[in-house]
Chains A and B, each alone.
Chain A
Amino acid sequence: MANFETKVGRLQAENDQLRRTLSDLCERVVGRQLTGDLPENFLEQFSQLPDRPLEQVLRFLPARQVAQMRHVSRRFNHLIRKCSKTMPKRERIGSVLFKRKYSGKLTVKWFDDNDSEILKTTLADDVALSELFRFIRIGGRIFFSDGLSAADDVLDQLSKAWLTIRPDLVVFSGDLSKTSRDSLRAFLVKVEPTIRRLLFQNADNIGHSLLSDDVIGAAGRLDGLMVLPNGWYWAKDANDVVSDINIGDDTLLSMAEAGRVSSYFCVVDCSGITPGGIRAFIEKWMKQADTYAVAKSIRCELRCELIFCKCANVTPTTVEEACGDLLRKETEAGTDQNIFGDSIDMEERVRYIAKCPSNRRLEILFHFYPFLCPFISPPGLNDEDSDLD
């Protein structure tokens, strides 16, 4: 009998312990959301809900309204900002253009696909650039235009984790004297999933240490790269270096797998490019299976253009020595037209064309002419305020 009572007592104790355990478990789960004694009027207001259902409600709203809902209360604003990566965002393609006049204010313009201006704002001192873009999914083209529009503070804002920036083209054509390698690299990492063309187009102050294979490499696989420091066109000869661009064979080789119908690698003043690197590029490009398959499946010609202007180690002679067996040489002379349509005498141009069995064409040129280059005009070029202060 005593044994039986002991057994009952033990079972009762186990049962009590189980009840406490269950209760503790429940409270532990609840602890993340609500704890303690619940008031009589528990949950009389929507705002007393834990974060998760609130977030879920906000995620189901149309993108336009999510931003408006930040006005409702501080808590809504905090929640929406906290979850901005996964909140609905407005989809925008077209072009975004940044300008920073030397007075220091950053102007942001948005253009539609037809390059018509949709919106323009000049940032107030206390409004962060990243806040403007927090609930917009940016696609299309980004232009860092006049002045210090691509300075570190701008690139750092655009590299914020919560922003969704998915351009296929980025053009730097302003002053890069306040742009550091780290900021540029972080920005290129940010846009890496979608960027296909990266242009430094008449950019000022491209410091020797700014561009390098690893910085450009952060942008991933590109179909177009152009590096033209401002003033390149006026350089007297090959020895008149405007800017010593620190890009080498690694960047060139990484572009051999470009999959577009048209791809290009156009650089000025890159002493790191070697004839050996060009040979490696040609061999890799010719073996590129994907491009070969694309070339066979379409009727148009797949074209790849390499332009080396004033690159110390790349001249027609050195290229012919290193890759002559893979290339066919052509020369052109006579007259040509400049960008204004005027006839001009043209010095003899040498070009090499890779011998390729499919309808693919690889050209190597040594002269940069504006009308031959893959220049991209920024939108709103004729705006009345396009000039700097």
Chain B
Amino acid sequence: MIQLCSNDDPPVSFTVPRKAVELSKTIKTMLEDLEGFDMEQTPIPLPNVDAPTLELIVKWVEQHQDDPPPVEKPRVEDDDSDDSDADDDQEPEVVIPEWDKKFLPTDDEQKNQLFKLLNAANYLEIKPLLDIGCKYVADKISGQTVEWVRDYLNMENDYTPEEEAKLKEEIAWAEGL
């Protein structure tokens, strides 16, 4: 068993089966690097994860610890200056399983908890969890107006009117097709 500690003061500790915790690529790599140390006696501090989020993470990894490992694809680093042709490498379709639908904090008042969960899944490199969380957010904002999306995501319009006008011209072309 492995102990994980939240970033709270005082930290909240969770004990998790090693198999489950290794769904996190970050922790798995860390454990492999520290092979030989008695990790069962050494709590692993997670400075970016608070207790409620860590509780969700633990619940998710315990539920999915027996899942077949996801197929790893090398991550394509996007960069305008990169000449590699990656445009056929589209993201595979992600379907949110029933258990996960109930698990995700999807109520509007839990929105911030969902974003914290995405952040933690990203930090701990739990790709399947990150995928389903991102898919949920994408489904939520799909088909909505720009204003609705800004409101849902608590984002501010930081464009100048001139920038918006230019952008509108570029985008109008794609929308007309």
Contact = CB atoms under 8 A, between A and B. Distances in A.
A binds B: yes
Given A18-B34, A61-B142, A126-B166, A132 B174 contact: yes
Interface stretch (B15-23, B61-69, B79-87, B98-106): B79-87
A346 B154 CA distance: 76
Interface string A107-137: 0001000000011010010110001101111
Interface in A1-25: 15, 18-19, 21-23, 25
B138 interface: yes
Given A57-B137, A62-B142, A85 B86 contact: yes
A292 interface: no
Interface string B35-75: 00100001011111010000000000000000000000000
Nearest to B30: A25
A52 interface: yes
Contact of B91 (A22, A49, A59, A71): A59
Nearest to B125: A29
A229 B115 CA distance: 61
Contacts of A193: 85
A86 B89 contact: yes
Interface stretch (A37-45, A146-154, A311-319): A37-45
Nearest to B170: A131
B26 interface: yes
Contacts of A127: 166, 169-170
Interface stretch (A75-83, A242-250, A279-287): A75-83
A164 interface: yes
Contacts of B83: 161
Contact of B119 (A43, A57, A59, A118): A43
B115 A69 contact: no
B130 interface: yes
A131 B39 CA distance: 52
Contacts of B159: 71, 73-74
A53 B50 CA distance: 18
A53 B127 CA distance: 10
A56 B131 contact: yes
Nearest to A52: B122
A388 interface: no
Interface residues of B, number: 72
Contacts of B7: 38
Contacts of A74: 158-159, 163
A33 interface: yes
B176 A22 contact: no
B139 A86 contact: no
B113 to A, nearest CB: 9
B123 A33 contact: yes
B154 A73 contact: no
Contacts of A160: 80
Given A85-B87, A164-B87, A23 B170 contact: no
A77 B174 contact: no
B19 to A, nearest CB: 20
A321 B112 CA distance: 83
A368 interface: no
Contact of A70 (B82, B91, B171): B171
Given A23-B47, A33-B122, 13 more contacts: A43-B116, A47-B153, A53-B133, A57-B138, A60-B94, A67-B171, A73-B158, A74-B158, A82-B80, A85-B87, A86-B78, A127-B169, A162-B80
23 contacts: A18-B34, A18-B37, A18-B42, A21-B34, A26-B30, A26-B47, A34-B48, A47-B153, A49-B115, A50-B122, A53-B121, A57-B138, A65-B141, A67-B171, A67-B175, A72-B157, A73-B150, A73-B155, A73-B156, A81-B80, A86-B89, A161-B81, A193-B85
Interface of B: 7, 26, 30, 33-34, 37, 42, 44-48, 50, 76, 78-87, 89-91, 94, 111-112, 115-116, 118-119, 121-123, 130-131, 133-135, 137-139, 141-143, 146, 149-150, 152-159, 163-164, 166-171, 173-177
